[in-house]
Amino acid sequence: MCLRHLVFEDVLQEDPSARISAPVLRRALPSVLAIEEVESLLGSPDLGTWMGQRDAALLEVLYASGARISEAVGLRTEGIEPSLRVLRLHGKGGKQRIVPIGDRARAALDRWLSEGRPRLKGAARRPEVFLSKSGKPLDRTTAWRRIQTLALKAGLPRRISPHVLRHCFATHLIEGGADLRSVQEMLGHASIRTTEIYTHVDAEHIQSLHRLYHPRG
């Protein structure tokens, strides 16, 4: 019988369970690739083809910026700032954020924009960075399938979605010493609570360093 009902019936003076704190359920961290696995995936496209150059640029953008797949396929040429090495991404609710990218992502984008993309019909008239064979904007479903195909080519045993690279971006940043607030800004999370899913990654990394280097670890 419910304890609260027993209190209501004057069988008990108080509900003893009222002093018991409810368990805090920690959200599970999504699947994350090791850095070596990410390198294998990024190196899987055939750079001798226009499609390989596009796929390489897409993968590099996803991992370098933490962009959602919708933000990556929606990226426009005017959203690339060559001199600043940043991308202007449009996230949920139309909110814009600026995210830095590294040399590898910048080089992959340059190769795609200067070599592969101009080969596609009508590419010069399209504002979107990533295009399909027909010259139309690349859609999320096609991008997802390409990443699946490249993951298999790279020998990755798990099913890889574009969102996995977003989680890899955040996890590897935090493991490298980035603070949670900065990662929140780059991911475009409205609340820090959303980004807190990665806090235990930081704690585990610190613990591993302690075990490795402390004389009594």
Active-site residue 198, yes or no?
A: yes
Which of 111, 117, 167, 198 is labelled catalytic? 198
Active-site residue 92, yes or no?
A: yes
Which of 111, 146, 166, 167 is labelled catalytic? 166
Contacting residues for 143 by C-beta, under 8 A, at least 6 apart: 58, 69, 72, 73, 130, 162
Active-site residue 136, yes or no?
A: no
Rounded distance between C-alpha atoms, residue 207 and residue 154, angstroms: 31
Which of 68, 111, 117, 172 is labelled catalytic? 68
Active-site residue 121, yes or no?
A: no
Sign of CA dihedral 47, 52, 54, 55: negative
Active-site residue 189, yes or no?
A: yes
Burial 84-111, CB ≥16 within 10 A → b, else e: eebbbbbbeeeeebebebeeebbebbeb
Rounded distance between C-alpha atoms, residue 74 and residue 128, angstroms: 6
Which of 106, 117, 146, 189 is labelled catalytic? 189
Active-site residue 68, yes or no?
A: yes
Place of tokens 């150059």: 53
Which of 4, 26, 27, 92 is labelled catalytic? 92
Which of 85, 88, 126, 163 is labelled catalytic? 163
The catalytic site residues sit at 68, 92, 163, 166, 189, 198
